[in-house]
């Protein structure tokens, strides 16, 4: 304690003799410009942080609701469309219908031509 | 811009009035009017046959593609529409609506009043003649007639009758369709006279103008419009002496997707609005979304559940700081054709 008092005692404006040691220390701390400035800075920072948090929250809310209204239905519907396309493809392959523009379609035609050309050559 | 704005505001072929299902209507209307004609004109030769230009789109429908994507019929509450065809040409429709209606008020906050009504309608559709009538339980009557007098001349009558005095409206339109132009003459009640003319100046560009005179209010106006369309995009611009500038651009990204944007400036109220929207036409549904510079986000989904059964979902969220705030959600069903 004595060491701290000695340190504080060296500060200007803290050397009143009538008060107790603790009171003198606390008043000197609370009156010092550094603490005042620090407290102000802290309160400013808190306000700014609060405002920032609030505005980010608001922005997030707006972005989120906009997303919910504009994009979520789109995603769901496109997914459904894709599922339906896949289902159709599966059904088509199960039923054995020749898929358009593939090698399977070309092969029978080639075969059908081959005997004809063979017959012609004979 | 009394007449032009009212034209622009009202979607010309009202989907509610037509008994066909909304998805095919949208599909047919969302496509450019005659892409194959333009494709042929381009494909056959680069030289333009200036005496054989295609017929332009009607003046009041100049922005129809943009309106299709950006102005879906958003509603709040429950809607149920049922259409029953009696025979090939005649159909009856029943429609129930329950929800809240906005009441116009002087203050900035919105007043909503719960309302419910039933609407009975009859449609007679014939290639030469179209008669549509609607009557509501609160006494409003709506009648539309479209009649082809000759091959080129069409008469349209629109009437709205209410039991409140001075709110009834009537309008006669005579449309003349030429080879590469269209003209229209309008007579309405309250001594409204209007005329417009639109001409194709190249295979893709058409220019039009309109004049109108409101006899009772002693107002008159003149407007000009231009429309440029290819098979992938449509651009329109409209200026009127009432101080309104409207520009729109629609890009067809693919067979299923089109994107639309619109810019609107009102010189009288110094109001600027721009909006952006998408329009997805998939096999089972049609989805339209819109984002507005006023902070309005809206989406409208028409989902086909079954043959002739469509589910409608509508959402509109309006958020502007310190003024109008409004959330509107609605769901509905349309049954039959």
Is residue B189 over pLDDT 50? yes
CA gap B304, B22 in Å, rounded: 10
Residue B66 tokens, joined:
């943009």
- Of B41, B55, B56, B4, nearest to B195 by C-alpha is B4
What is the domain partition of chain A in residue ranges? 31-94
B293 contacts B303 by C-beta, under 8 angstroms:
no
B147 contacts B140 by C-beta, under 8 angstroms:
no
Residue B178 tokens, joined:
């030429």
Interface touch B317/A65, C-beta < 8 Å: yes
CA gap B154, B184 in Å, rounded: 9
- In what helix (H) or strand (E) does residue B38 lie, and over which residues does it extend? helix B35-44
CA gap B317, B297 in Å, rounded: 5
pLDDT digits (tens, 9 = 90+) for B303-324: 999 888 999 999 999 876 556 7
User: What is the crossing angle of helices A72-95 and A33-70, to 10°?
Assistant: 40
Higher pLDDT, A98 or B166: B166
CA gap B223, B331 in Å, rounded: 38
Candidates B280, B285, B315; nearest CB to A69: B315
Residue B248: band (very low, low, confident or very high) from pLDDT cuts 50, 70, 90? very high
User: What is the crossing angle of helices A2-9 and A21-31, to 10°?
Assistant: 40
Interface touch A73/B319, C-beta < 8 Å: no
Candidates B285, B291, B303; nearest CB to A70: B291
Cβ count near B12 (within 10 Å): 15
Residue B10 to chain A, least CA–CA distance (Å):
24
Q: What is the pTM of this model?
A: 0.73
What backbone phi and psi angles, to 5 degrees, belong to B37? -65, -45
DSSP string, B262-331: EEEEETTTTEEEEEEEEEEE-SSEEEEEEEETTSEEEEEEEEEEETTEEEEEEEEEEE-TTS-EEEEEEE
Instruction: Output DSSP code: residue A98.
Output: P
Interface touch B289/A74, C-beta < 8 Å: yes
Would you state the pLDDT for residue B322?
55
Give percent above pLDDT 70 in chain B.
85
Residue B108 to chain A, least CA–CA distance (Å):
22
CB-CB neighbors (< 8 A) of B315 in chain A: 69
* B151: helix, strand or coil: coil
Lowest mean pLDDT among A25-39, B179-193, B215-229, B233-247: A25-39
Instruction: Output DSSP code: residue A71.
Output: T
pLDDT digits (tens, 9 = 90+) for B104-160: 777 767 788 999 999 999 999 998 899 999 999 988 999 999 999 998 999 999 999
The beta strands (E) that lie in chain B are given as 77-85, 90-103, 111-125, 129-136, 141-148, 153-161, 169-177, 181-188, 192-200, 205-214, 219-229, 233-240, 244-252, 257-266, 271-281, 285-292, 296-306, 309-319, 325-335
Whether complex ipTM tops 0.90:
no
Interface touch B282/A81, C-beta < 8 Å: yes
Q: How many CB pairs below 8 Å do chains A and B form together?
A: 42
CA gap A81, B303 in Å, rounded: 12
CB-CB neighbors (< 8 A) of B284 in chain A: 77, 80-81, 84
Q: Which of A60, A74, A83, A85 to mutate to test the interface with B (most CBs of B within 10 A)?
A: A74
How far, CA to CA in Å, does A4 sit from each of A27, A30, B232?
14, 16, 82
Interface touch B287/A77, C-beta < 8 Å: yes
Instruction: Output DSSP code: residue B60.
Output: G
- Of B239, B237, B231, B267, nearest to B249 by C-alpha is B237
pLDDT digits (tens, 9 = 90+) for B216-234: 888 899 999 999 989 899 9
Would you state the pLDDT for residue B166?
82
Q: Across chain B, what does the average pLDDT equal?
A: 84
CA gap B56, B41 in Å, rounded: 15
Interface touch B297/A70, C-beta < 8 Å: yes
Candidates A69, A78, A80; nearest CB to B317: A69
Residue B168 tokens, joined:
């009834």
**Residue of chain A nearest B276, judged by CA positions:** A70
Residue B274 tokens, joined:
């721009």
Would you state the pLDDT for residue A18?
61
* B119: helix, strand or coil: strand
């Amino acid at each position: 304690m004595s060491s701290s008092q000695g340190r504080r005692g060296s500060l200007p404006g803290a050397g009143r003799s009538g008060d107790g040691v603790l009171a003198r220390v606390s008043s000197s701390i609370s009156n010092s410009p550094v603490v005042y400035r620090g407290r102000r800075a802290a309160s400013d920072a808190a306000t700014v942080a609060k405002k920032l948090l609030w505005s980010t929250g608001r922005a997030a809310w707006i972005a989120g609701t906009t997303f919910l209204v504009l994009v979520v239905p789109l995603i769901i519907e496109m997914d459904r469309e894709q599922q339906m396309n896949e289902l159709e493809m599966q059904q088509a392959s199960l039923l054995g219908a020749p898929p358009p523009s593939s090698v399977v379609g070309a092969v029978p035609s080639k075969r059908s031509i081959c005997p004809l050309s063979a017959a012609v050559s004979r | 811009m009394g007449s032009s704005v009212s034209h622009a505001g009202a979607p010309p072929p009202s989907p509610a009035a037509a008994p066909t299902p909304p998805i095919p209507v949208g599909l047919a209307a969302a496509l450019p009017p005659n892409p194959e004609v333009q494709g042929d004109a381009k494909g056959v030769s680069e030289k333009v046959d200036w005496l054989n230009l295609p017929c332009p789109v009607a003046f009041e429908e100049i922005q129809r593609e943009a309106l299709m994507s950006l102005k879906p019929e958003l509603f709040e509450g429950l809607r149920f529409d049922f259409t029953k065809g009696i025979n090939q040409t005649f159909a009856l429709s029943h429609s129930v609506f329950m929800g809240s209606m906005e009441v116009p008020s002087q203050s900035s906050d919105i007043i909503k009043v719960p309302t419910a009504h039933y609407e009975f309608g009859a449609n007679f559709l014939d290639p030469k003649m179209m008669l549509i009538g609607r009557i509501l339980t609160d006494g409003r009557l709506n009648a539309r007639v479209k009649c082809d007098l000759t091959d080129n001349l069409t008469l349209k009558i629109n009437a709205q009758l209410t039991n409140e005095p001075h709110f009834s409206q009537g309008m006669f339109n005579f449309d003349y369709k030429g080879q590469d132009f269209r003209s229209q003459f309008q007579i309405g009640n309250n001594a409204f006279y209007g005329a417009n003319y639109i001409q194709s100046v190249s295979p893709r560009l058409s220019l039009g103008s309109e004049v109108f005179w409101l006899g009772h209010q002693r107002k008159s106006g003149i407007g000009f419009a231009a429309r440029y369309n290819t098979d992938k995009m449509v651009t329109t611009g409209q200026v009127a002496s009432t101080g309104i500038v409207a520009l729109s651009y629609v890009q067809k990204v693919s067979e299923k997707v089109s994107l639309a944007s619109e810019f609107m400036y009102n010189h009288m109220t110094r109001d600027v609005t721009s909006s952006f929207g998408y329009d997805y036409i998939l096999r089972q549904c049609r989805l339209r979304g819109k984002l507005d510079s006023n902070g309005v986000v809206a989406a409208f989904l028409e989902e086909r559940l079954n043959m002739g059964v469509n589910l409608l979902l509508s959402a509109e969220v309006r958020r502007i700081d310190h003024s109008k705030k409004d959330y509107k959600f609605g769901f509905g069903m349309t049954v039959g054709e």
